[in-house]
Structure 1
Amino acid sequence: MTYSPIKLIYLALIIFFTLHSCKNPGGESKQKTEVTADIGKTQKLVYASEVTPFFDDWKLILGDGSNAGIANNFEHKDFFYTVNDGKSNWVVYKAPNAGNTHGTSNNTRTELAQAKKWYPKTANDKLTATLKVMNVSSTGDARVASTHSVVVGQIHSADGHENEPLKIFYKKFPSHNKGSVFWHYEINTAGDDNSGRWDYSTAVWGNDFSVVGNEENTYPDEPKDGIALGEEFSYQIEVKEGIMYLKFMSDGHETKSFTKNLINSEYANKAEIPEQTQKLFVPIGQDGVERISAYTGEGLFFKLGSYNQTNGKSPEVNKNWCSGAETHGGDIQKQYADGNYAEVWFKTASISVSDSAVSNQGYFTKND
């Protein structure tokens, strides 16, 4: 059979387009497979214990009041998970304004509690962390000192009144771009009645706890040297031979260091109650004095995470600790939707535990 030149050209074109159309689907499919593989890689689950691999030393309390225990290879989509900000992996600790709480507290927390306790007089224990606060409650009475704040690190007593010789706070009012970092010492109240206990607040960057609004929805001046939401800062806590050493660092801010004696009180007499306490706590009946030996003989332990200091209780109950914030009846997702929660991201953290530390199980047995 013979073909004219025109027919040969026509057949060649048919063969070319047929082969070309067969190749396209194959190439497209391969491209989609590669994209899908890349997406799968970026979405690979990274556990918190891969970011800060020290979870054998802690038990994790969640924002619903439950104890998740040792949190290796663990996440909870509402309270505890990891994110990547394009540069680093971070561990997210998130706690609503209201929900089930742990122990006797009025406040929710997603927080690590150290599995061992140590005694300040013989201690050689250390906690370090680098973090950024991403959210504090959008509502609450601005006249209440704890409103719009979160505690990001603690030392807690496992014994006696279970008081707190250290709480590290971040606080930011809604209309401000920058917030304050400050730390508290809570007295270890003398006697059996702990109702007179009070905190003394020391500013790191910005203001201390006592700076509040004049009205429910009016705010004081914004701190000039404050820390913004999403701005990194670090802390170091070391307790050695009865002395607590604190160090705070952040790029663009002055490094601040403090010391506090945990075994000899400076508040053992009424005359030693500081002016700040006279203004904040004494008017509501919290006017106790401290044991002369402070926290001597009590087992202490570290905490780290997001301990939300804003709650829905009426300020009439306590004008320093009851915020009157929105809680949506405890509905967690509704609180998250309109900013009524505390969220803290940790990039690095480490703990050093002395050989003399012992099990802290008694604390969890009492409070879980």
Structure 2
Amino acid sequence: MKKIFIAIFIFSAFFSCKDNTAGTSKEIEQKGDTTKYPSDVIPFFDHWKLILGDGSNAGVANNFEDEDFFYTETEDSGNWIVFKAPNGGDTHGTSNNTRTELAQIKKWYPATADDKLSATLKVMNVSSTGDARVAASYSVVVGQIHSADGHENEPLKIFYKKFPGHTKGSVFWHYEINTAGDDNSVRWDFSTAVWGHDFSVVGPDESTYPEEPEDGIALGEEFSYEIEVKGGIMNLKFTSEEHETKSFTKNLTKSEYSITTEIPKQTQDLFVPVGQDGVERKNAYAGEGCFFKLGAYNQTNGKSPIVNKNWCSGAETHGGDIEKQYADGNYAEVWFKDASITISDAAISNKAYFTKND
């Protein structure tokens, strides 16, 4: 099978309204060799559309930057792309959360897929406020597989989460069931720890935090993930210089959760009490087009925990004022150094997803 492979290079020479073209009014004019666009750091943007932290679609983000959400930073270790998203503001599609995130232009089907995404990154900030009892507080999603069809659920979300006052945070990944039936409000995630805790470890009250993980990842500490989907199987690999390499496998075309008795205890404790007690289609995500995402999908928001104690953080948003949120740490910020994507010939256009959600 012929594949497209986009390798990553670090170059030494030096990127609100809805808009589907890269290069909006926020595009920065390149001046000599003093400006470096994110597409110079990781030159694979032909294969993505960029969603910004104000809910807009910047399109294919070659030679583009945005001073609030998407730009470059240079350190002794090299050049980085910065993805930044506040706790509150306009969101994309039906999500409650802001994101600055790349979404793949093509979609592929798990059963026939031979597709891969790899990235090296470091998380620089997670929200300074939130309710410690809410599992999503103080977290950001840095990579995903998303369905473009059906309920548009997510067979993979890779999280980083760190509680205030802790030096180390946790990396964990989620599988969200592809809910059987029409009522997708009963969907739930199952969380698996990579380094540190999983999603279910929360504080006993609003401002008391659980014990800091001994094997966690600090802000500013590099780690890498590799996502491969081939023949219906998702293979995950996580690496970091000072940590044990971790690998996981999940079948995306055959469900483990198609009957009520198969709902795991973690879900019974975390999701069932808030009415998220569904079961999954027997063939899981088979027959649905899926696509990769990469960036900073902020999981902390200002909604009241009364609405949902797992996803509504009650964090500070300053009424959506980005400048104020950035000033007191109420945002997510993720830096990427390397990334690559392999796209199979079987992949097809994902245009309908963007038409529906933009």
Q: Secondary structure at the match of 1:195?
A: helix
Normalized per residue, which structure has more strand? 2
C-alpha separation in 2, matches of 1:336 and 1:367: 27
Cα distance, 1:87 vs. partner? 2.2
**How much is the aligned-residue C-alpha RMSD, in angstroms?**
1.2
Matched, 1:85 2:75: yes
C-alpha separation in 1, matches of 2:75 and 2:174: 31
- AA aligned to 1:81 is Y
What is the aligned partner in structure 1 of residue 197 from structure 2?
207
What is the aligned partner in structure 2 of residue 167 from structure 1?
157
What is the aligned partner in structure 2 of residue 33 from structure 1?
none
Normalized per residue, which structure has more helix? 1
Cα distance, 1:257 vs. partner? 0.1
Cα distance, 1:44 vs. partner? 1.1
Matched, 1:310 2:288: no
TM-score (norm 1): 0.88
What is the aligned partner in structure 2 of residue 273 from structure 1?
263
C-alpha separation in 2, matches of 1:364 and 1:106: 17
C-alpha separation in 2, matches of 1:88 and 1:269: 50
1:68-217 aligned within 5 A: 68-217=58-207
What is the aligned partner in structure 1 of residue 282 from structure 2?
292
Cα distance, 1:41 vs. partner? 10
1:322-341 aligned within 5 A: 322-341=312-331
What percent identity do the matched residue pairs reach?
79
Cα distance, 1:96 vs. partner? 0.1
Matched, 1:230 2:220: yes
Cα distance, 1:43 vs. partner? 7.8
C-alpha separation in 1, matches of 2:77 and 2:156: 31
What is the aligned partner in structure 2 of residue 25 from structure 1?
none
C-alpha separation in 2, matches of 1:86 and 1:133: 17
What is the aligned partner in structure 2 of residue 23 from structure 1?
none
Q: 1:248 aligns with which of 231, 234, 238?
A: 238
C-alpha separation in 2, matches of 1:87 and 1:219: 33
Q: 1:56 aligns with which of 18, 23, 46?
A: 46
C-alpha separation in 2, matches of 1:320 and 1:80: 28
C-alpha separation in 2, matches of 1:109 and 1:168: 14
Moved over 2 A (4+): 40-43
Cα distance, 1:147 vs. partner? 0.1
Q: Secondary structure at the match of 1:353?
A: strand
Give deviations 1:78-110, integer Å, cap 9, x for gaps: 000000022200000000000000000000000
Q: Which has the larger radius of gyration?
A: 1
- AA aligned to 1:61 is I
Matched, 1:345 2:301: no
What is the aligned partner in structure 2 of residue 15 from structure 1?
none
C-alpha separation in 2, matches of 1:249 and 1:145: 24
C-alpha separation in 2, matches of 1:295 and 1:237: 16
- Count of aligned pairs between the two proteins: 329
Gaps of 5+ in 1: 1-39
Q: Secondary structure at the match of 2:324?
A: helix
What is the aligned partner in structure 2 of residue 11 from structure 1?
none
Q: Secondary structure at the match of 1:152?
A: strand
TM-score (norm 2): 0.91
What is the aligned partner in structure 2 of residue 7 from structure 1?
none
C-alpha separation in 2, matches of 1:248 and 1:222: 20
Matched, 1:218 2:211: no
Give deviations 1:49-99, integer Å, cap 9, x for gaps: 111110000000000000000000000000000000222000000000000
- AA aligned to 1:285 is G
C-alpha separation in 2, matches of 1:183 and 1:87: 27
What is the aligned partner in structure 2 of residue 5 from structure 1?
none
C-alpha separation in 1, matches of 2:216 and 2:32: 34
Gaps of 5+ in 2: 1-29
C-alpha separation in 2, matches of 1:320 and 1:301: 25
